Structure 1
Amino acid sequence: MGSASSSSCCSRNAKVATVGTIQSNKPAKKAHFIGLCVKPFQLPIAADGHISCADLYNLMNDANKFTQFVHHPLYLLILDLRDAAAYALDHIQTAFHCSSVASGIINENILNFKHIVLYGVDTSLGSNERAESAVRLLEDAGAGFVMLVGGYTEFEKRFPFLCNTVTIWSQTERERKVTTYPSLILEDWLYQGTGNQAKRERLIRSMGITHVINISTEFSCDLPGVTYLAIRLQDDASSKLLDHFEEIFEFLDGVKRTGGKALVHCNLGVSRSSTATLSYIMLSQTCTLLDAYKFLHHRRPCCAPNRGFFLQLGFFEEYIFGKKFTDANQLWFAV
């Protein structure tokens, strides 16, 4: 059979509401998913020495287990290799112009940065003298760095809300001025994040989010113009999130088909929202729980469904394919 996203076995009448809540307290309708063929689903890997726009976006935000370090000056160094005039006009948030690489604060810590990303107009290094000098300095120091695939042109096209004219040096300035956004899961329409992010209207508007799945008891669904699916469940191993997997699929599949953008959230964006996202990936990509988890963990390393949710996902895998491929218990212990 083809991808589940195009299967007619899903009903398309999931109830949704704009500026309101959908109390999803009943099991979703049973559909005949048994017998779908498993397809390999792998990460889109950039070539050696390069990083994709999606991965840089997630690196800049709260997708990882080291969120508390995102604002630390030594966490991520982004260097703009374009000419100074282009940098002054607009650049990726927190980026420095390549001419700054020789300055004290950067040069003295060149080997202490956890990540170093360089970008030009496109994927190439460019040919201006300052860019070449900065690259030589990094290479001579033995500092590892990667080039941004597509450069500034591609990044600004996809994430304009992460480009500005501000130059930020200190951690205090970063904490005060830099907004952390939800993780990008499926380009460029499905995001996963926290309840606090979901309630920030300016953030939601800047990202172009049109639909939100709220799996929490802590947060309301009240942003104007946003279509919500509310599933009121606790992050508890006994909560039956499995009963809502097909409903979640129908909601998100509708968003994708109509060209919208969706955010899936719970409280911390770790357990309930990860479970919902995994169920959608498994069904839409007809992939195993293990492949779906590897993909989501790459995009949002803090993802960690509780044991009960992992077992429900294992049951869902068997329900979709008529066969068990992933040991959900073992996967939970490995997280």
Structure 2
Amino acid sequence: MGIVLSRVSNSCRKVSREPANTCPKVSSICNSTDSDYSSITPIRTKVCEPEELLVPALPEKTRVERGYVTPQQVYNLLNAEAGQPALHDPYYILILDCRSAERYKQSHLVTARASVTVIHPELGCLISCVQLQEFSIILLYAEEGCSPVGSVEARADSPGLQHCFFQLSALGMDPVILQGGFSAFHALYPFLCTPHMVLLEPERQTLTIYPSEILEGALYQGSASQAADYRIIKNLHITHVVNATADCPDVFPSTLRYLRLHLSDDAQQDLVEALPLASRFISAALRGEPAGRVLVHCSLGRSRSSALTLAFLMEHRCWSLLHAVRWLKERRACTAPNVNFLRQLLSYEEQLFGSRLTSLDDIRL
């Protein structure tokens, strides 16, 4: 599956430097309903280079047992988009619920099948290897657990899951297991669990596709249509929205705080003011009391929103543009800022760190 596992590094150090002598003047392009930003009006303002340089940090890798994927990874897999939502394809992911039939009927991951309909404890595999090979991903889960695959603990905790895992492996498949099981996933994403069977393509077409989760329980990136869906906003507990579209309205101004950036996805769009404004807005929201949850969106959630998310990850996680791009692509595969935005992000990286750490060839998407 090519999944890279990592977690946020909170260490971000700065080194002092002399303030820049000159500050270019640019036109303001935003307004906001957030009280911290209500003073921003469409007048000419100054954007100065920071007085301190950031020291680059690396995203820290987290330990996940071999054969496992985290609930957050599964969330992003279920909501992956590549032209069209991947979950609408019946051969995108095969999810096997290895719990009892009773627990399956009560609730299960959306599109999951009871494992006995594919791998029977006594009869073995009930569908052909050719059919199995048509699936891009095969995911298994029990009620809970994350012991090493094949260990005594794992065999005792979830014998049905272990049987399925090794049966599929023997058939040449490469299944993965949900870390923490159904209970861990349901605790975070109950809205992606259901008592109903959803298997066929027409049924899948009715499923809601959620924004990608970039920082767990904190930062999301998606499309304008997702930002206008109140069910999505409510289920993800979104409190702040960065609207990077040229003409899509702020849909819930009475209940959410918005930063509106009128941006176009073209070769002429200047991001010199938008990048630090969005970065500051996101940071203030996530550091609030209580901490907020932010959705960054443009029309399709690929180019403009990606540029703003990358700027935040560079400035507030102290990651180079290259590491920020890798992090974002792992969580939102359809990430695709245009070349103009990439060049401006390279300049922003140099402004933050004092030198270019990334080349355009490294990040051309």
SS state of the match for residue 319, structure 1? helix
Deviates more, 1:30-39 or 1:304-313: 30-39
What corresponds to 1:327 in structure 2?
A: 359
Deviates more, 1:318-327 or 1:23-32: 23-32
Rg comparison, structure with higher value: 2
SS state of the match for residue 241, structure 1? coil
Which amino acid in 2 is paired with 1:3? C
Is contact 2:165–2:175 with CA below 8 Å preserved after alignment? no
Q: Could you tell me which of 85, 93, 97 is aligned with 2:114?
A: 97
Which amino acid in 2 is paired with 1:149? Q
Q: Could you tell me which of 86, 89, 104 is aligned with 2:103?
A: 86
Matches within 5 A, 1:101-250: 101-102=118-119, 107-108=127-128, 109-122=131-144, 123-124=146-147, 127=156, 130-176=160-206, 178-223=207-252, 224-250=254-280
Please report how far the alpha carbon of residue 234 of structure 1 lies from its aligned counterpart in structure 2 after TM superposition: 0.6
Q: 1:175 to 1:4 in 2, by over 3 A?
A: farther
Matched, 1:32 2:61: no
Q: 1:139 to 1:241 in 2, by over 3 A?
A: same
Which amino acid in 2 is paired with 1:39? A
Please report how far the alpha carbon of residue 171 of structure 1 lies from its aligned counterpart in structure 2 after TM superposition: 0.6
Please report how far the alpha carbon of residue 26 of structure 1 lies from its aligned counterpart in structure 2 after TM superposition: 5.3
Question: Scaled by the length of structure 1, what TM-score is found?
Answer: 0.87
Is contact 1:99–1:134 with CA below 8 Å preserved after alignment? no
- In the TM superposition, what whole-angstrom CA distance separates every residue of 1:56-81 from its partner, at most 9, and x where no partner exists? 1111013x436454211111011111
Is contact 2:31–2:261 with CA below 8 Å preserved after alignment? no
Is contact 2:224–2:299 with CA below 8 Å preserved after alignment? yes
More helix by share: 1
Deviates more, 1:189-198 or 1:155-164: 155-164
Distance 2:125 2:41 in 1: 53
Is contact 1:75–1:114 with CA below 8 Å preserved after alignment? yes
SS state of the match for residue 107, structure 1? coil
Q: 1:271 to 1:15 in 2, by over 3 A?
A: closer
Question: Scaled by the length of structure 2, what TM-score is found?
Answer: 0.80
Distance 1:238 1:52 in 2: 40
More strand by share: 2
Is contact 1:26–1:243 with CA below 8 Å preserved after alignment? no
Is contact 1:16–1:229 with CA below 8 Å preserved after alignment? yes
Identity over the aligned pairs, expressed in percent?
Answer: 32
Please report how far the alpha carbon of residue 27 of structure 1 lies from its aligned counterpart in structure 2 after TM superposition: 5.3
Distance 1:240 1:201 in 2: 31
- In the TM superposition, what whole-angstrom CA distance separates every residue of 1:157-192 from its partner, at most 9, and x where no partner exists? 11111111111121111102x111000101111000
Matched, 1:265 2:297: yes
SS state of the match for residue 269, structure 1? coil
Is contact 1:191–1:264 with CA below 8 Å preserved after alignment? yes
Structure 1 gap ranges (5+): none
Matched, 1:295 2:315: no
Q: Could you tell me which of 335, 338, 343 is aligned with 1:311?
A: 343
SS state of the match for residue 263, structure 1? strand
